[in-house]
Structure 1
Amino acid sequence: MNLEKILAISGKPGLYVLKVQTRTGFVAESLADGKKITVNLKSNVSLLSEISIYTYEGEKPLAEIMQKIADKESKGPALSHKEDNAKLTAYFKEILPDYDEERVYPSDIKKVLNWYNMLQAKGLVTDEVPAVAVTEEVGAVAEETPEAELKTPAKKAKAKKE
């Protein structure tokens, strides 16, 4: 599931798709009603691809958690975020058994399920995974950058060395 251009904007309900960047901010389109809004750089904006959930072993990216929900529900809708907290935590425990119960609050679980259901309703729940390469020596994950995107000769040389 690709969450690269999906945004959550503080103070605004729902999710948005990043459309165009401007000098003073960007233009985003609401997933709920399709209306476009301009957002300035002072707004608190989160890319869903950058959000993680705390587990006892570390942090899990939101995309992985949403993929687990999609697998459990066969890409159908998940449990409603309006259920009571006991049902929500039990459901989330099935999805991510090792989530840190002290640092992940019911409000966080509600957001994740609400976001998943919004994406699912718009047909954005897919098996698409962003291209990544695993480096053997370090064991770290790095995004692949096509050579066409590397603008300067110095960047091309650096990429060839890596």
Structure 2
Amino acid sequence: MGLDKILAISGKPGLYELKKQTRNGFVAESLTDGKKISVSLRHNVSLLSEIAIYTQTEEVPLAQVLEKVKEKENGAITSVNHKESKTVLANYFSEVLPDYDESRVYPSDIKKVIQWYNLLHSKGMTDFSVEEVSSEEE
């Protein structure tokens, strides 16, 4: 499963897997506790495959950032906790993505990236390579 089925829902902690679409929204399953929830179209929902991190020159897709975290950690969970101080988080993130735009990438964004990476890693989702969707898969 790729990041195109993983959701971040505003106002809800953690990540969710898209299970099925309904007429008024969709059903998603929490990666944290496995509970299924119904999400209406009013919620602000982001696919992880559509999220990008600002750098000084471009926007880097989240999948590439997660892949860089994986490389830095040699495939293990992160060496820092998402609850560390802003300075520790900024130093860690600058090692992962040296040219990230510090004025547009907030500590809360860094916390989310670290937290999401560790959650996905704990669920065995460690292939963050960007896949091109072929017409057969659609």
Q: C-alpha deviations, 1:42-69, integer Å up to 9, x for none?
A: 1110101000000011100000000000
Deviation of 1:9 after TM superposition, in Å, equals 0.5
Q: Which runs of 5+ in 1 are unaligned?
A: 132-142, 150-162
Deviation of 1:71 after TM superposition, in Å, equals 1.0
Q: Relative to structure 1, is the Cα distance of residues 129 and 60 closer, same or farther in structure 2, using a 3 angstrom cutoff?
A: closer
Q: C-alpha deviations, 1:66-109, integer Å up to 9, x for none?
A: 00001111211112101111110000000000100111111110
* Higher Cα radius of gyration: 1
The reply on whether 1:144 has 2:137 as its aligned counterpart is: no
The amino acid of 2:89's aligned partner reads L
Deviation of 1:127 after TM superposition, in Å, equals 5.5
Equivalent residues of 2:4, 2:48 under 8 A apart:
yes
Counterpart-to-counterpart distance in 2, 1:62 and 1:98: 15
The amino acid of 1:116's aligned partner reads Y
Deviation of 1:145 after TM superposition, in Å, equals 2.1
1:61-140 to 2 correspondence within 5 Å?
61-78=61-78, 79-126=80-127, 128-131=129-132
Deviation of 1:128 after TM superposition, in Å, equals 4.8
TM-score of the pair, normalised by structure 1: 0.80
Q: Percent identity?
A: 60
Q: Relative to structure 1, is the Cα distance of residues 127 and 101 closer, same or farther in structure 2, using a 3 angstrom cutoff?
A: closer
Equivalent residues of 1:2, 1:63 under 8 A apart:
no
What is the CA RMSD across the aligned residues, in angstroms? 1.6
Counterpart-to-counterpart distance in 2, 1:10 and 1:108: 13
Q: Partner residue of 1:48? A: 48
The amino acid of 2:134's aligned partner reads E
**Using CA pairs below 8 Å that are at least 6 residues apart, which structure has the higher relative contact order?**
2
The amino acid of 1:17's aligned partner reads E
The amino acid of 1:103's aligned partner reads R
Q: Secondary structure at the match of 1:32?
A: coil
Moved >4 Å (runs of 4+): none
Counterpart-to-counterpart distance in 1, 2:134 and 2:8: 25
Equivalent residues of 2:7, 2:17 under 8 A apart:
yes
Q: Which runs of 5+ in 2 are unaligned?
A: none
